[in-house]
Amino acid sequence: MTETLGFCQEMRPESCGFVLFGATGDLAARKILPALYGLCEKKIAPGNFYLVLAARTPQDRPALENRLWNTLTRAGFSPSPEVFSSFLGRLEYLQADYASPAFFGRLAAALTRLDGKFGVKNKRLFYLATPPEAFEGITASLKTAGLLFDPKDCKCWSRVIIEKPYGSSLESAAAVDAGLKQAAPEDQVYRIDHFTGKETVQNLLALRSANAVFDNTWNNRFVDHVQLTVFEELGLEGRAAFFEKLGLARDMMSHILQLAAIISMDLPETFRDTDFKASKRRFFESLRVLSPQEVRTSVVRGQYAGYAAESGVAAGSRTETFLALKLLIDSDRWRGVPFYVRAGKRSGVKRTRLDIVYKKPEQGIFRHIDIGYPNVFSFSIQPEETVSFSLISKHPGPKLCFARRSMGLDYRPEGGEAASYPTDYERLLIDAMSGDQTLFLSSAEMSGMWRFLSPILTAWREDAAGNPLHVYPDGAPGPAAADELITKDGRVWV
Ligand SMILES: NC(=O)c1ccc[n+]([C@@H]2O[C@H](COP(=O)([O-])OP(=O)(O)OC[C@H]3O[C@@H](n4cnc5c(N)ncnc54)[C@H](OP(=O)(O)O)[C@@H]3O)[C@@H](O)[C@H]2O)c1
């Protein structure tokens, strides 16, 4: 058992009803339904809790149960008959017609009935796992049907969860947000980027907050540069229709900037979500927006060689599957420290990782000898969740030789304890049930992301000659141009 010290805070999800719109979709099957089941299996779900699955596709009860079983086994569960049957006992399916007030009337009646049956008092989460085009219509109808409460009026709450990415530009994303806000104020909207639910990402902040040795050196006096890698081994996996419209930059930019924000934001005064969000907002305000000329020199886009032959990809598609870029932060702490980013599909390995690369020695015996970067603080986020710090030490033996060594932090729980810990989606659902917005994205963060991303997309569209699409071999960590992006600054990928 790991010993915990001093500060220890636990989220307690409140009793509530959970309505999942778009329940027949890919996100529901791969992430949300497994997370809801996981919460029940791990006994983390609130005691009084029920689920309404809603979608337009008609489904009778046996078809629903069969589908759920397949969904859970595909997600890696071996559901026990007791837990599965208790899960089924907590859920109902409603065929949706989002254009019809009668449907929302039926939903309201079902929620009142289920509140009574499960001992819940007007506390509801609405997860919009539909395409973003449907968000505004659904929330407006929920409001009209009296299902979005103002917590000031009663001891009740209603929260709306949506998933990034939405919109294709700053303006279209703002329009989605504006539509949502007409029905639900910002403190009732929970925007998910599941990277923030990962243990290592949260540990980044914990390590900084509790160990002054790190945070005090986490600045432009000591750090040479930061590297951020988000590689996927897989390609499209049959999701061409989704990805062709989106491209890697739109798919990944939120993850990239959330990770950059969590490394570089000033530490909040408290762990309260409002303080946390204020710090994160300052990061987005200090992110340097690239000019068209800087996009040419600081951003690389690529496509893996086999992409054109993937089923569902349009002939001559210029959708990028790889992105490398250098981003700069205009804050006293980080001015002059580049953040180099690589993200790609079919990049040979599955790896999400942050490396904080400290400066080389400027004094002492090694000032004239290039030993590379002696100190790299690395956070591996997936597939394994580890933290390590590399340093140069004396090689054992009679000679005075130096060798690179690494200290690892094994903070994952041991043995069976690990299985009882929530996954990223489970953690985020608990937080939403607890009313804690710390790990969710604000509309200001979404705007900040689009202020950064839009000029890149515009430059790619309007200046194709200056921003070529580099083809890279399947399984390679991007095109040669991505290496040049960092080597021309006298640095290398770690
Ligand atoms: N899939 C992912 O891994 C992923 C990752 C990041 C973000 N997201 C976001 O999560 C949401 C859901 O993604 P998804 O991949 O699950 O989408 P999806 O499979 O395309 O759609 C989900 C479900 O929404 C319903 N739907 C489709 N068009 C609709 C419309 N015009 N109005 C209302 N309902 C409609 C469909 O169910 P019925 O026809 O049965 O109603 C469909 O099964 C989207 O906002 C997406 O951007 C998804």
Helix axes 443-462 and 273-286, enclosed angle (nearest 10): 20
User: Residue 150: its pLDDT value, please?
Assistant: 76
Burial 189-198 (b: 16+ CB within 10 A, else e): bbbbbbbbbb
User: From ligand 1's centre to the CA of 184, what distance in Å?
Assistant: 20
DSSP string, 193-249: -GGGGSHHHHHHHHHHHH-HHHHTT-STTTEEEEEEEEE-S---TT-HHHHHHHHHH
User: Residue 414: its pLDDT value, please?
Assistant: 57
State the closest ligand 1 atom to the C-alpha of 30, by its place in the atom list counted from 1.
3
User: From ligand 1's centre to the CA of 26, what distance in Å?
Assistant: 7
CA distances from 397 to 190, 366, 490 (A): 57, 20, 33
**Which of the four pLDDT bands, split at 50, 70 and 90, describes residue 2?**
low
Of all protein residues, the one whose alpha carbon is nearest to atom 39 of ligand 1 is 56
Q: Quick one: how far is CA 192 from the chain centroid?
A: 7
Tell me if residue 449 falls in helix, strand or coil: helix
Which is nearest to 263 in space by CA: 336, 333, 344, 350?
333
Say if residues 233 and 350 touch (Cβ distance below 8 Å). Answer: yes
State the closest ligand 1 atom to the C-alpha of 31, by its place in the atom list counted from 1.
3
DSSP conformation class of 31 = I
CA distances from 490 to 73, 339, 484 (A): 49, 14, 10
User: Residue 364: its pLDDT value, please?
Assistant: 82
State the closest ligand 1 atom to the C-alpha of 24, by its place in the atom list counted from 1.
43
Q: Quick one: how far is CA 154 from the chain centroid?
A: 33
User: Residue 325: its pLDDT value, please?
Assistant: 98
Task: Count Cα atoms within 13 angstroms, Cβ side, for 477.
Answer: 15
Lining residues, ligand 1, CB within 6 Å: 22, 24-28, 30, 55-57, 96, 98, 129-134, 163
Give the residue numbers marked as catalytic.
Answer: 255
User: Residue 413: its pLDDT value, please?
Assistant: 59
Which is nearest to 413 in space by CA: 3, 2, 9?
2
**Which of the four pLDDT bands, split at 50, 70 and 90, describes residue 367?**
confident
Kindly state the tokens that stand for 73: 């086994």
Helix axes 61-74 and 81-89, enclosed angle (nearest 10): 130
Of all protein residues, the one whose alpha carbon is nearest to atom 5 of ligand 1 is 27
Residue that wins the pLDDT comparison between 6 and 46:
46
User: Residue 402: its pLDDT value, please?
Assistant: 86
User: Residue 411: its pLDDT value, please?
Assistant: 63
How confident is the model over 303-322, as pLDDT tens digits?
A: 999 999 999 999 999 999 99
User: From ligand 1's centre to the CA of 129, what distance in Å?
Assistant: 5
Pocket test for ligand 1, best of 93, 130, 196 (most atoms within 8 A of CB): 130
DSSP conformation class of 421 = S
Strand order from edge to edge, sheet including 49-55: 91-95, 49-55, 16-21, 123-128, 157-163, 189-192
Q: CA-to-CA distance for 108 and 21, rounded, in angstroms?
A: 14
Residue that wins the pLDDT comparison between 332 and 418:
332
1: pLDDT strictly greater than 60? no
Q: What is the mean pLDDT of residues 232-252?
A: 93
289: pLDDT strictly greater than 70? yes
Instruction: Return the amino acid letter for 489.
Output: D
Of all protein residues, the one whose alpha carbon is nearest to atom 48 of ligand 1 is 27
Three-class HEC string of 179-192:
HHHHHCCHHHEEEE
Task: Count Cα atoms within 13 angstroms, Cβ side, for 147.
Answer: 26
User: Residue 319: its pLDDT value, please?
Assistant: 97
Evaluate the CA torsion angle 245, 248, 263, 429 in order and state its sign: positive
Q: Quick one: how far is CA 404 from the chain centroid?
A: 33
E strands, 232-346, are 299-304, 322-327, 339-344
User: Residue 137: its pLDDT value, please?
Assistant: 96
Say if residues 373 and 494 touch (Cβ distance below 8 Å). Answer: yes
Kindly state the tokens that stand for 110: 């079902």
The pair phi, psi for residue 255, each rounded to 5°, is -60, -45
User: Residue 4: its pLDDT value, please?
Assistant: 66
Range in 1-10, 188-197, 204-213, 358-367 with the lowest mean pLDDT = 1-10
State the closest ligand 1 atom to the C-alpha of 166, by its place in the atom list counted from 1.
47
How confident is the model over 192-205, as pLDDT tens digits?
A: 999 998 888 888 88
**DSSP count for the chain of H helices, then E strands:** 15, 15
User: From ligand 1's centre to the CA of 23, what distance in Å?
Assistant: 8
User: From ligand 1's centre to the CA of 323, what distance in Å?
Assistant: 25
Of all protein residues, the one whose alpha carbon is nearest to atom 34 of ligand 1 is 130
User: From ligand 1's centre to the CA of 367, what distance in Å?
Assistant: 56
Say if residues 20 and 127 touch (Cβ distance below 8 Å). Answer: yes
Evaluate the CA torsion angle 411, 417, 419, 424 in order and state its sign: negative
How confident is the model over 30-77, as pLDDT tens digits?
A: 999 999 999 999 999 998 999 999 999 999 999 999 999 999 999 999
**Which of the four pLDDT bands, split at 50, 70 and 90, describes residue 342?**
very high
State the closest ligand 1 atom to the C-alpha of 251, by its place in the atom list counted from 1.
6
392: pLDDT strictly greater than 80? yes
Ordered domains of the chain (ranges, CATH): 16-192 (3.40.50.720), 196-421+450-487 (3.30.360.10)
Pocket test for ligand 1, best of 27, 57, 160, 246 (most atoms within 8 A of CB): 27
Pocket test for ligand 1, best of 26, 67, 189, 446 (most atoms within 8 A of CB): 26
Kindly state the tokens that stand for 269: 């005064």
